[in-house]
Chains A and B, each alone.
Chain A
Amino acid sequence: QSALTQPASVSGSPGQSITISCTGTSSDVGGYNYVSWYQQHPGKAPKFMIYDVIHRPSGVSNRFSGSKSGNTASLTISGLQAEDEADYYCSSYTSSYTYVFGTGTKVTVL
């Protein structure tokens, strides 16, 4: 199974909105509403941010939102803050009863 495709880097100024894309196939992202997103700061374990494409777990800021169109899922961060600077990964369930992660996106707050 191939990793889902994410942009290597995305940047924005404080207060702006940015969107990270996650592109797969009809066998993973496009075939199921089972995309999740994770935030990872350097040297730390990933933090769970979004599940089932659009849902935020308790405790996650409502500045984070998810969506999907066809084979591409997206994570939008609104009102960008310095603490949002981190690596972000998407993940999807697949038709082979497995999971695949995205290639990862480094978010820089200018």
Chain B
Amino acid sequence: QVQLQESGPGLVKPSETLSLTCSVSGGSMSHFYWSWIRQPPGKGLEWIGCVYYTGSTNYNPSLKSRVTISVDMSKNQFSLKLSSVTAADTAVYYCARGGPPFHWFDPWGQGTLVTVSS
């Protein structure tokens, strides 16, 4: 079955860019949307955005100005870049398969904690 695994730095300095990659194994990325979702410590889930295998994207309006999500079909990966980070961006970041027309998120990666601190 399809499995997802996040990777990237666990510590990012304020004002810098957070970069994460999600590696997809056990299946093709074709014909699906792939999403990033985050969860600040002790708080709820927030959808960040998604990318179609063709590269088309949709973003959360509240993060749109700072977010870029891209896909690399040759590596079976998709990536998240979040610029100008602050402490409020400290969260566990999850990648998941999900987006139109399958309006749910499954499966999920295990999540990776990214802390924004100098």
Q: With A48-B105, A51-B104 given, is the CB distance from A103 to B94 under 8 Å?
A: no
Q: 1/0 per position for A36-48, CB-CB distance to B under 8 A?
A: 1010000001111
Q: Chain B residues near A89: list those with CB within 8 A.
A: 44-45
* Cα A32 to Cα B100 with chains together (Å): 12
Which range contains the number of A residues in contact with the other chain?
Answer: 20 to 34
Q: Chain B residues near A91: list those with CB within 8 A.
A: 45, 47, 104-105
Q: With A51-B103, A97-B100 given, is the CB distance from A46 to B45 under 8 Å?
A: yes
Q: Chain B residues near A100: list those with CB within 8 A.
A: 47
Residue of A34, A46, A52, A93 with highest tally of chain B CB at under 10 A:
A46
* Cα A45 to Cα B3 with chains together (Å): 13
A45 touching B111, Cβ below 8 Å: yes
* Cα A98 to Cα B107 with chains together (Å): 19
Q: Chain B residues near A36: list those with CB within 8 A.
A: 103-105
Q: 1/0 per position for B39-50, CB-CB distance to A under 8 A?
A: 000001111011
Q: 1/0 per position for B80-106, CB-CB distance to A under 8 A?
A: 000000000000001000101011111
Is A96 engaged at the interface, CB distance under 8 Å to the other chain?
yes
Q: With A51-B103, A57-B106 given, is the CB distance from A99 to B44 under 8 Å?
A: no
Q: Chain A residues near B94: list those with CB within 8 A.
A: 45-46
* Cα A104 to Cα B60 with chains together (Å): 19
Which residue numbers of B lie inside 8 Å of A, CB to CB?
A: 35, 37, 44-47, 49-50, 58-62, 94, 98, 100, 102-111
Name the 4 nearest CB pairs between A and B, nearest first. Answer: A48-B106, A34-B103, A36-B104, A51-B104
Query: Would you give 16 A-B contacts (Cβ < 8 Å), ordered by A?
Result: A1-B61, A1-B62, A32-B103, A36-B103, A38-B45, A46-B94, A48-B108, A89-B45, A96-B61, A98-B47, A99-B35, A99-B98, A99-B103, A101-B45, A101-B46, A103-B44
